[in-house]
Amino acid sequence: MTFLKQSILFICCGWMGLQLNAQSEKAADTLWTRTAQLSLLANQSTFRNWTAGGANSLAGTLGGKYGLVYKDSLWKGSGMLESSYGLNKIENNPFSRKTDDRLMLDLRIERLLVDRWKGHAWMNLLTQWAVGYKYDGSGDDATRTRISKGFSPAYWKTGLGLTNAKDDNNRIDLAMATLKMTLVSRIFTRDLEPGKQYFGVDRNKTSRTEFGLDFVWKAQWDLWENVQWKHLLNIYSNYLDRPQNLDINYLLEIDLKVNDFISTQLVAQWVYDDHAIERVQSRQILGIQFRKDF
């Protein structure tokens, strides 16, 4: 994990340097734009003398985004840093459970080729902050087993490809040559049974390397006034091992805007990666979002 931590530190230092440099030039150079956002998504259930039953619960997710973009008539360079962390606490349950845990850094450069087509090169790092658990039982009999930790697993991808974009809010990326690395802690692989894997990583190893095709469709639409639909579909196929077994990640967000600071948000996500688990993973969250754009 030393290599991973050093890599993260190097990337973050480079990112901060780029940020500070761009901000110092922004007043004189309108080709640079910056976006920043902080948000809190909260939901609560409270019951008292409720004959139909029910358990009190409280959940919240804190999120942040920072983006920097350079754009001229031919070239576009962008960087996006996103992070979110959420917890859910249910009455009489001894453990709080994560509802979200995400750290993502995305860097890309594009050049206009013809019409709506661009060539692009990109790098993406996706990981988590905290320990993840598998839970069994309930009440006083509840138990949990650690199955992941901060930066384990971490997914690093880089590639070359083509982009078809109507605008910044609706684009398709196709990278035919994509290198993907899955990085994990040896804590989870050193005691694996022979033939078993942890997120596709073999016994006593800390990484798995893949090479394949990466497809991304990112879009958002205004369904009605103050109702916005956003989605992100990512599909990956590894040329080197069972290319027909696709890794699929679909994220859906629906925002019902109340005003500039408050909205109701529905988040739903479905993930299939047979290296993690041979079943579809899913999560859904509905709550009130408090958001501030800078």
Q: How confident is the model at residue 7 (pLDDT cuts 50, 70, 90)?
A: very low
Q: Is the peptide bond before 153 cis (omega within 30 degrees of 0)?
A: yes
CB 232 within 8 A of CB 214: no
Choice among 6-20, 105-119, 151-165, 215-229 with the minimum mean pLDDT: 6-20
CA proximity to 281, closest of 243, 240, 248, 232: 248
pLDDT digits (tens, 9 = 90+) for 43-79: 888 888 777 777 899 999 999 999 999 999 999 999 9
Instruction: Render pLDDT for 233-288 as a digit per residue (tens, 0 to 9).
Output: 999 999 999 999 999 999 999 999 999 899 999 999 999 998 888 899 999 999 99
Confidence (pLDDT) at 66: 97
Per-residue model confidence (pLDDT) at position 167: 83
User: What pLDDT does residue 276 have?
Assistant: 86
pLDDT value for 54: 78
Q: Torsions phi, psi of 290, nearest 5?
A: -105, 125
* Distant-in-sequence, close-in-space partners of 151: CB < 8 Å, separation ≥ 6: 1, 4, 5, 8, 127, 128, 183, 185
Percent of the chain clearing pLDDT 70 (strictly above): 90
Cα(189)–Cα(133) distance, integer angstroms = 16
186-to-151, 174, 203, 241, 277 alpha-carbon distances in Å: 12, 33, 9, 23, 19
Task: Report the pLDDT value the prediction gives residue 23, as an integer from 0 to 100.
Answer: 53
Sign of CA dihedral 130, 134, 138, 140: negative
Radius of gyration of the chain (CA): 21
Query: pLDDT band for position 17 (50/70/90)?
Result: low
Question: For residue 29, what pLDDT band results from cuts at 50, 70 and 90?
Answer: low
What does DSSP assign to residue 54? -
* pLDDT, tens digit, 9 for 90 and up, residues 170-222: 999 999 999 999 999 999 999 999 889 999 999 999 999 999 999 999 999 99
Query: What domains can be seen in the chain, in order of their start residue?
Result: 2-293 (2.40.230)
φ, ψ at 186 (rounded to 5°): -65, -15
Give the model confidence (pLDDT) of 70-109 as tens digits: 999 999 999 999 999 999 998 888 899 999 999 999 999 9
pTM for this model (two decimals): 0.84
pLDDT for the residue numbered 135 = 92
The whole-number pLDDT of residue 106 equals 97
